[in-house]
Every structure is written in C-alpha cells, then in structure tokens.
Amino acid sequence: MKIYLGLTKIKGPTILVLGMFDGIHIGHRRLINEAVKLSENELSPVILCTFNKRPVEVLKPDIQPDRLTTTAQRAREVASLGVNAMCIMKFDKEMANQEPEYFIENLVKTLNAEHIFVGYNYTFGKGGRGNGELLKQLGVKYGFKTHVKSRVSDHGETVSSTRIRSLIKNGNVARANELLQYTYAMPVKFLKKQANEFHFEYLARKIIPKYGAYKCILTVNNINGINDYEVINLVQNKKCIALFAQDELLPCITEDSKIALHYIDKLNIKR
C-alpha cells in the first residue's frame, strides 16, 4: 500500500474513503470493505483519506486525547483490508478553516475521485458544517457518486471509536477486541527486571486500560526474531508490570527490543 503525506495529484479515476478511522473497528471495516468491493468491479484504486491529528487536538490545544491506534497501526490495518493507498493530510488551523465545498472540491480534483464513501456521522469543513447530504449535492456538482453508510449496531448500541475507548478505559478489553476484530495492543519500553517481574513504561499516547490485572500476550521483536509469551500484566497508570509464571519462559529482553503487550481479558485478581 502506498502512503501519501498530503494531497498528491493522481490521474484517476479513484474511489475515496474519508474519515479518522481511529481503531479501524467493525463499522470502519464494513465501510472500507464496500469500497474495496466496488474497486474490484470498477478497476479503480481505493484511497483512504485521513488526518494526522484529530481536529480536537488543533481546535482545543489544551485537550490532547489518547487514541486507539497510532498512524502506523492504522496504515497496517487498512492495508490488510485491500486499500491501495492512504493519504494522510495535515490537520492545522488552515485546514480547520476551509469551507466544506472547497475541501471536497480540492480532494476530488486532486485525487480524481469518481466515488466517495463516508460513514453516517462524517462531517467536514469549517465548524464541521459539511455532512452526508451536502456531500451528495457536491457529488452532482463535481461529478462523483456519494456512498453514505448507515451506522453499525451491536446489541442495540452503535459501534464507535468513542464507545471502544470507554470499554478499554473501564477494563473491558475483551469486548473492545470483539468490536475491533483484533487484540488491542500497547507498545512498551523495558525499564527493569526484578525476579520474575518485568517493568515497562507505555510508549504511545494510546488509551491505557483501567488499573488492574490482565491476561496478555507479550511480543518481543529483537535480533532473535519475534517471540510471544503469555503473561499477567498489572496496569499502574503510565507504567505496568508483566509477570511470568515460569522462569524458563523469560525472554531475552534488552533496551533495543521492540515490545508490545496485547490485552486479551481482565482478570479478577488483586496484588
């Protein structure tokens, strides 16, 4: 999958999918899958257009919300779904002040879009004044077809990134994983070892699960390859401890190792 940093002129025709896609949950996947299915008939590439920052990070600098996925993780997930390219646009004050029609006109003319897919609650342009209905009107004016997909519900509740963030914050990682369709993971930095305990610090500005004990898979990527270890992880604010049941399972962790904790379920144990 190609990655474009900013808008890049493409001959087209193309199929665009617009949104932030934090988490790439089952609602996002359904939207992307429909675009990919259309591309197989139209023989046009699918380009996912997103921003490097969530709008609130620019519009309200004092609020720096944690995310479900880093940009790199989003790219890996959408590539696995068959997306041909990802266009990561810079969201700054200039972008925030663009009128809705100008934003779409610029996208369509630069990327030569014939189809645009968005979710039911997608908004765009200054003040978020653009929505699915306006997008349909602009489609008539600029010659593209608009596909607005309805909400995806699970047990009567809308599937959303906001809901999944709440689940993780409250420790319900197992339910969050079902809605994400993959195991939620946090990259960590090795700090120290004490007996059968490995102490880590969270690296990415992502949602940290609620304080407590979790069943996890710890992956270690170093010169010896990638190894997986089942551990009990104790979350403690910005730091955590991984407990290994057997000494012979202890991995060779160094400061250079790329390490991640994959959260499977919360455990009802106290320490």
DSSP state of 237: T
The domains located in the chain, with CATH, are 2-150 (3.40.50.620), 185-267 (2.40.30.120)
Task: Give the pairing of strands 258-267 and 185-194.
Answer: antiparallel
pLDDT, residue 64, reads 77
Lowest-pLDDT range of 15-19, 67-71, 78-82, 194-198: 194-198
Lowest-pLDDT range of 45-54, 153-162, 179-188, 195-204: 195-204
The mean of the pLDDT values for the chain is 90
Query: Which amino acid makes up residue 67?
Result: R
How many Å apart are CA 264 and CA 220, to the nearest integer? 17
Which whole number is the average pLDDT over 161-181? 96
Do 35 and 115 touch, CB atoms closer than 8 A?
Answer: yes
Do 56 and 96 touch, CB atoms closer than 8 A?
Answer: no
Which whole number is the average pLDDT over 215-226? 78
Above 60 in pLDDT, residue 102?
A: yes
Tell me the pLDDT tens digit for each residue of 7-36.
999 987 999 999 999 999 999 999 999 999
pLDDT, residue 224, reads 59
Tell me the pLDDT tens digit for each residue of 58-69.
888 887 788 999
pLDDT, residue 235, reads 87
Query: Crossing angle for the helix pair 173-180 and 161-169, nearest 10 degrees?
Result: 160
pLDDT, residue 22, reads 95
Cα dihedral sign for 73, 131, 40, 107?
negative
- Tokens read off for 26: 């089952």
pLDDT, residue 248, reads 47
Lowest-pLDDT range of 131-140, 165-174, 196-205: 196-205
Q: Percent of the chain beyond pLDDT 70?
A: 94
Tell me the pLDDT tens digit for each residue of 114-156.
999 999 999 999 999 999 999 999 999 999 999 999 999 988 8
As beta bridge partners, residue 246 has none
Above 70 in pLDDT, residue 179?
A: yes
- Tokens read off for 193: 């070892």
How many Å apart are CA 44 and CA 15, to the nearest integer? 6
Which whole number is the average pLDDT over 72-84? 95
Lowest-pLDDT range of 50-54, 81-85, 202-206: 202-206
Q: Which pLDDT band holds residue 107 (cuts at 50, 70, 90)?
A: very high
Q: Where are the beta strands (DSSP E) in the chain?
A: 2-5, 14-18, 46-51, 85-89, 113-119, 145-149, 153-154, 157-158, 185-194, 197-202, 212-222, 225-236, 239-243, 258-267
Tell me the pLDDT tens digit for each residue of 232-258.
888 887 788 887 655 544 566 777 788
H/E run at residue 166: helix 161-169
